[in-house]
Chain A
Amino acid sequence: MNNAAENTAASMSVARTPSTTTERERPRLGLLRATFGIIAKDFLLEWRGRARINATIFFAVLTLLLFSFAVGPHHAILEQNAPGYLWLAIMLASVMSLGESQRVEAENAALEGLRLLALDPRAIYLGKSIVNMLFLMALALVLVPVSIALYGTTIRAGMGPLFSPLLLGTAAISAPGTLYAAIAVQARARDVLLPLLLFPILIPGLLAAVKATSLVLTGDPMGELVSWTMLLGAFNVVYWILCGLLFGRVIEE
């Protein structure tokens, strides 16, 4: 079928002189402002619903309690393994948090609406990843005192040094987590798919986060903390860049 000339001829008779014959100058947001716009939108959505933070905290605290019940009254084992339990609780709870962050975008095809506003996909990725990271960081800050209370952990180096592995660890979950949540939300088995995609990728980051947290809690006589922190930092650099570049491909058909 090649009836374009005929199509045009038929159209000529009704063509009018429009007011939009030349492209109007339309303001466009830069990457930074668009990212802040996404962050503001996600915080407002969370504030309106408050479903994500409540459910995630409850689930993570329950997970810590279950580890405590499973091991029993062996304080030495609990204290020794506390960093591992803490990060497993954060990782398991992150599936709920990441899934919820994409669920609101899937409802009414809101993510498609964002795409059609001509936003840079990297801004959508960065905005959502930063909000996910801040949620997980807030969760971690709630879980640390709970871990101390449940497992009898003592923080030898103080809370200050603990901040760095917590921040880098939650960032390491958010970077690939935001991308994989965007992939999983398009699938029928979205709840199953996200952990299947995410957990294998997180193994190096999880290992480094657990080791770094353990060294802060129990002391670092061999000076290993810097190496594990650098590994965690490198994991973050690779995944934030890679996922930021791939996100546009994932959300565009």
Chain B
Amino acid sequence: MSSGNTQLAIRVRDVSKRYGRRWALARLSVDIPQGSAVLLTGENGAGKTTLLRILGTAMRPTYGTIDLFGAPVGDDLERVRPRLSLMTHASYLYEDLSAHENLRMVQRLTASADRAAREAALERVGLTPHAHRPVRTYSAGMKRRLCLARMILRQPDLILLDEPFGQLDPRGVTLMEDVIREQHRAGRTLIIATHDVDRGLALCDLHLELSAGRQMRAPQPIAA
């Protein structure tokens, strides 16, 4: 398919996902240009989380194909995964380690050792005073902030956020909005699944709506 001068971050074709007898996603086809921010909405069980997990390579579709940044997502997941960051209900954190240690572990396992970047990320999310406490002692909102710090640290090209404002206090919500705007301005592609539609509309430039695993219509531009 020709995409003119616009390069696609995501190209989804006929993607379906079945859990047992239930189809969570049914023949979804969508293109997302690089650098866009997409608001993903739909009722509970509409397939938002499933779609984000499939795009984040945490899950394989039952049918269909996905291209990320122009290359098909096949078995070579190690090639595409460094470019993605998936923030879901699961925090991926080790509870017995501190915030500092969790981030250092991520850096060590991604061939990075920039201590200043780690400290800057913790500072950005307001966790510096708590950086050496075990994550087990954190509130849900603090864990969410730490996930945000990990995402900032990794500098992915594609950011997938599932209910990013959940569990955050008002200052945390503002922080999340600021970080989303920063990442969008930096040219990164974002997909944000949220029930907070007004907030999402203010942050995104495309709107994709799902219902019972099907897309309601093509992604619609959001008026500024």
Contact = CB atoms under 8 A, between A and B. Distances in A.
Interface of A: 1-21, 23-24, 26-29, 33-34, 37-38, 40-41, 44-45, 48-49, 104, 107-110, 112-120, 252-253
Given A41-B105, A116-B92, A15 B112 contact: no
B44 interface: no
A201 B214 CA distance: 46
Nearest to A24: B157
B86 A116 contact: yes
B60 A253 contact: yes
B188 A18 contact: yes
CB-based closest 7 A-B pairs: A113-B92, A18-B35, A18-B187, A19-B187, A109-B90, A118-B81, A27-B111
B157 A116 contact: no
Interface of B: 1, 3-4, 6-8, 11, 13-14, 26-36, 56-60, 69, 77-79, 81-84, 86, 90-97, 101, 105-106, 108-112, 134, 157, 186-189, 205-206, 214-215, 217-222
A240 B163 CA distance: 41
B33 A12 contact: yes
Contacts of B187: 16-20
A155 B13 CA distance: 68
A167 to B, nearest CB: 27
10 contacts: A1-B26, A8-B1, A11-B6, A14-B221, A14-B222, A27-B110, A44-B97, A110-B92, A117-B81, A117-B110
A8 B7 CA distance: 11
A16 B36 contact: yes
A23 B157 CA distance: 9
A107 B219 contact: no
Contacts of A13: 221
B35 A48 contact: no
B36 to A, nearest CB: 6
Given A1-B27, A6-B218, A14-B206, A20 B111 contact: no
Contacts of A109: 90-92
A119 B31 contact: no
Contact of B221 (A10, A108, A110, A116): A10
B13 to A, nearest CB: 7
A20 B36 contact: no
B29 A118 contact: no
Contact of B35 (A20, A29, A116, A253): A20
Given A7-B218, A20-B189, 15 more contacts: A1-B214, A4-B30, A8-B31, A10-B221, A12-B33, A14-B205, A15-B6, A16-B187, A18-B35, A26-B82, A27-B110, A28-B111, A116-B86, A118-B77, A118-B82
Interface centre among A11, A28, A116 (most CB of B within 10 A): A11
Contacts of B108: 37, 40-41
B97 A45 contact: yes
B105 A112 contact: no
A115 B110 CA distance: 11
A116 B57 contact: yes
B189 A5 contact: no
A209 to B, nearest CB: 32
B30 A114 contact: no
A120 B109 CA distance: 10
Contacts of B111: 27-29, 33
